[in-house]
Amino acid sequence: MTQWTLMIHGGAGILRPDTLPADQAEGARAGLNAALDAGAGVLANGGSALDAVEAAVRVLEDDPHFNAGRGAVLSFDGCVCLDAAIMDGSGRQAGGVTGVSATKNPVSLARRVMTATPHVLLSGTGADQFAREQGLEQADESWFATPERRRQLEELRARVDGWFDAEMKYGTVGAVACDAQGHVAAATSTGGVTGKRWGRIGDTPLVGAGTYADDRACAVSATGSGEYFIRAGVGHEIAARVRLTGEDIATAAAAVLADVQALGGTGGVIVAAPDGTAHWAFTTPGMFRGQTDASGHRAVAIFGDE
Q: Which residues does the annotation mark as catalytic?
A: 172
Q: How far apart are CA 28 and CA 24, in angstroms?
A: 6
Could you tell me which residues are beta bridge partners of residue 259? none
Binding ligand GLY (rule: CB under 6 A), the pick from 190, 283, 284, 291 is 190
Binding ligand GLY (rule: CB under 6 A), the pick from 195, 202, 235, 285 is 202
Q: Which is nearer to ligand GLY, 266 or 291 (CB)?
A: 266
The closest alpha carbon to 95, from 76, 119, 71, belongs to 119
Q: Which amino acid, one-letter code, is at 143?
A: W
Binding ligand GLY (rule: CB under 6 A), the pick from 203, 214, 215, 293 is 203
The closest alpha carbon to 271, from 191, 185, 189, 208, belongs to 185
Piece of 96-104, 111-119, 188-196, 298-306 that binds ligand GLY (CB under 6 A): 188-196
Q: Tell me, what DSSP letter sits at residue 114?
A: H
Q: How far apart are CA 140 and CA 138, in angstroms?
A: 7
Q: Nearest distance from residue 136's CB to ligand GLY, in Å?
A: 22
Going through 191-263 in order, the beta strands assigned E by DSSP cover 211-214, 218-224
Q: Nearest distance from residue 139's CB to ligand GLY, in Å?
A: 20
User: Does the footprint of ligand GLY cover residue 95 (CB under 6 A)?
Assistant: no
Piece of 19-27, 141-149, 220-228, 290-298 that binds ligand GLY (CB under 6 A): 220-228
Number of H helices and number of E strands within the chain? 9, 12
Q: Which is nearer to ligand GLY, 96 or 210 (CB)?
A: 210
Binding ligand GLY (rule: CB under 6 A), the pick from 226, 233, 265, 285 is 226
Q: How far apart are CA 300 and CA 293, in angstroms?
A: 13
Binding ligand GLY (rule: CB under 6 A), the pick from 47, 64, 182, 224 is 224
Q: Which is nearer to ligand GLY, 13 or 47 (CB)?
A: 13
- For every residue of 173-185, DSSP letters joined together read EEEEEE-TTS-EE
Q: Which is nearer to ligand GLY, 31 or 202 (CB)?
A: 202
User: Does the footprint of ligand GLY cover residue 172 (CB under 6 A)?
Assistant: yes
Q: Tell me, what DSSP letter sits at residue 69?
A: S
